[in-house]
Structure 1
Amino acid sequence: MTHPDPEYPLSDLALARRLEAAEGSANAAFVASRARLQPEVGATWKEVAGTLVMFDGVGSPLTQTFGLGTLGEATDAALGEIEGFMHERGAEVFHEVSPMAGMPLLDVLASRGYRPVELTSVMHRPTTIPVPGAETQVRVRRVEPGEVDVWADTAARGWGETPELAEFMRAFGTITATAEGAVPFLAEVEGEPVATGALAMHGGVALLAGASTVPAARKQGAQRALLQARLRFAAEHGCDLAMMGAEPGSASQRNAERQGFRIAYTRIKWHLPPAEK
């Protein structure tokens, strides 16, 4: 009989609460950063019966909830308040829901007209186990306060094949790098910035995000070096777990699994279609 690795926590409701709280906290900080840098968007967030509710502008992927059914109760009153919060701002309603919330919640969402629209593999790994892979000459360092534009420009260059997306990512990167609690990192080769990564910490969990590598520097170990640096930083600051999200079956998920990540659960995004007029 095999036994679970003692360094990896079991996938249960307690783990889901830690992971959902970490991601929700990081996204709330992002929304607050958006509100500070772009007040015209009207970005704001609130907590409704334990669920974190984000408005980051109409159409933003961060305009949604986190923790419904795990951090917060999914009562009719709570759902009504959340839906009203979004509709007042002209936004549609989306919930990211862990399966650890249980089948009753899915029945409630279906009965209110929601439908599933997206899946995410929520992945985790201990911060202290080694990252597999060869050594690299890439140098990784934390970004200094005056280098936010450098970090955002480098992140955008990683999406340079699509100019419209690159411009979006540049603005997104500036907000990410200046959010409260965010720790951005830069990878360099011979002094030139080639890749980015960031983390945010909450409750002993480090959420990894902001991964981007300029096309000419890919397959040189930049993201592996960034992962090593961020895990070391997180462990030194009291985090025992790191987490990230990926599309199920994607190259990002496969790469993460090669780096020691395991799937904790597959999260479902639910959407409430607009009422027909």
Structure 2
Amino acid sequence: MPPTPLTGPELGQALEQAEATHLSLQVAAYTRLSGRSESRVIAMSGGVAAITEAAFGRKLNHVTGLGMGVPVFSDELAELEKIYAALGLDTQVDICPHAHGSALAVLAERDYRVNAFSNTYARYLPPEEVFAAPRDGIEIITDRAIVEPIFVEQSVAGFSVQAVSRPVILLETLARIALQRSDTLLFAARCDGSLAGTAGMSLIETGAGLVAHLYIASTLPAQRGRGIQLALLNARLAAARSAGCVLACVTARPANTSARNTERAGFGLAYTKSTFVRRCDA
């Protein structure tokens, strides 16, 4: 039987489930790290809402998976808006095009506006596929005893130069969260003997089977343009298949470098999500 099409609603359900689980695990790990019991995840209308600290912005304070397989209700969103407003945050909701038809109607009714898009990429992991080895001079390290001590510092350094800068406290927290998660495999890359990049991959059970969620990949600014990210992508795909994953997924903003590297590694665009925002002073 051929694999389910990347653009099908069944696959969309599995990918959104993986994304919602990933966000939930991030919040759970942060709660363990910080001891802040007020950090939590709220299940709502097929998705989840992450609530942590205002300093982390939308990254750890947004809704994903809303309306996947179930209707969306206005009163549920209204209560969530109060929680985010108390933190001084807008309510931000990522909507999959396969969401229940009520989602768009409720968001329009409550004066939400689209302010961004993100692409969800996926690829199957057939048993016969051979993943490309790193080019000469690049070494991929998977030994956690080696990667773990340098992961936070190297991850933050890799994300330090971006088109849209993020607070250092957020970058450090995201890296520490990855270290905390037992479902996450860690990777590092050396180029000509020098550390060049880091990445993570979580293994998440979904209705479609075990899915590899690739995330927190960065390259040190001085090492960019040398194939580091493509090598980390291929290494993670090989590890995902060895772990029994049937599918891998990754999220990237349209037309950025991560999106291009993802496509070079054989991923296809499953769908584009819209981020709907309601201002906290609306």
Alignment TM class, shorter chain as reference: 0.7 to 0.9
Mean Cα displacement is larger for which, 38-47 or 110-119? 38-47
Mean Cα displacement is larger for which, 44-53 or 33-42? 33-42
- Aligned partner (choices 67, 76, 79) of residue 77 of structure 2: 79
- Contact 2:4/2:11 (CA < 8 Å) preserved in 1? no
1:184-236 superposed Cα distances (whole Å, 9 cap, x missing partner)? 11112355422111111214211111111112222332222211221111112
The CA RMSD over aligned residues, in Å, is 2.7
Matched residue, 1:255: 261
- Contact 1:184/1:198 (CA < 8 Å) preserved in 2? yes
- Contact 2:212/2:240 (CA < 8 Å) preserved in 1? yes
Which AA in structure 1 matches 2:51?
F
Shift of 1:273: 1.6
Answering whether residue 90 of structure 2 is matched by residue 92 of structure 1, we say yes
Shift of 1:142: 2.3
Structure 2 CA distance for aligned equivalents of residues 78 and 146 of structure 1: 45
Mean Cα displacement is larger for which, 43-52 or 202-211? 43-52
Answering whether residue 224 of structure 2 is matched by residue 233 of structure 1, we say no
1:230-265 superposed Cα distances (whole Å, 9 cap, x missing partner)? 111111222111111111222322222122111111
- Contact 1:51/1:71 (CA < 8 Å) preserved in 2? no
| Runs of 4 or more above 6 Å deviation | none
Which AA in structure 2 matches 1:100?
H
Matched residue, 1:199: 201
TM-score (normalised: structure 1): 0.86
- Contact 1:49/1:73 (CA < 8 Å) preserved in 2? yes
User: Gaps spanning 5+ residues in structure 2: where?
Assistant: none
- Aligned partner (choices 15, 26, 30) of residue 34 of structure 1: 30
- Contact 1:31/1:45 (CA < 8 Å) preserved in 2? yes
Which AA in structure 2 matches 1:108?
V
- Contact 2:42/2:50 (CA < 8 Å) preserved in 1? yes
Structure 1 CA distance for aligned equivalents of residues 182 and 97 of structure 2: 29
- Aligned partner (choices 174, 190, 196) of residue 176 of structure 2: 174
- Contact 2:189/2:228 (CA < 8 Å) preserved in 1? yes
Q: Percent identity, aligned pairs only?
A: 27
Structure 2 CA distance for aligned equivalents of residues 145 and 197 of structure 1: 15
Write out aligned runs for 1:198-217 (5 A). Answer: 198-202=200-204, 203-217=209-223
TM-score (normalised: structure 2): 0.85
Matched residue, 2:140: 140
Tell me the SS of whatever aligns to 1:99. Answer: coil
Which AA in structure 2 matches 1:117?
N
- Contact 1:196/1:211 (CA < 8 Å) preserved in 2? yes
User: Gaps spanning 5+ residues in structure 1: where?
Assistant: none
Matched residue, 2:12: 16
Which AA in structure 2 matches 1:138?
I
Structure 1 CA distance for aligned equivalents of residues 241 and 265 of structure 2: 16
